[in-house]
Amino acid sequence: MHTLAILVQLAVALSVFYVWIFRFDTITSDFERFGYPLVFRNAVGVVKLVIATLLIVGFWSPTVVPGATLGMAALMVGAQWSHWRVANPMAKRVPSAILLVGCVLILMDARGLFG
């Protein structure tokens, strides 16, 4: 199970980098739909990229993984709430839900809940 958690950790980090760097137009339109100001979008982006970086650093320094994962999970809960608030279709909610589930798996592994 630890190997799966490591792969999920990598997938979560790379997904965040991909979306916030190469799909920024989608992020911009989503945040506009949510009614959030640009400064909030930019702050969320910086925080997500820092946390994604910490998840990568966690391969060499595992002590950062639980905190980084909790932070990312909190951001994904916020994303779910934002999508729900504007009644986005399920297809728009699925990516952050998958990342949230991934964060739970990573955290469970980091806490030794799989043995």
Would you give the end-to-end CA distance of the chain in angstroms? 9
Q: Where are the domains of the chain?
A: 2-110
Using a cut of 0.85, tell me whether the model's pTM lies above it. yes
**pLDDT one-digit tens code per residue, 19-77:** 999 999 999 999 999 999 999 999 999 999 999 999 999 999 999 999 999 999 999 99
In angstroms, rounded to a whole number, what is the distance separating the alpha carbons of residues 56 and 12? Answer: 10
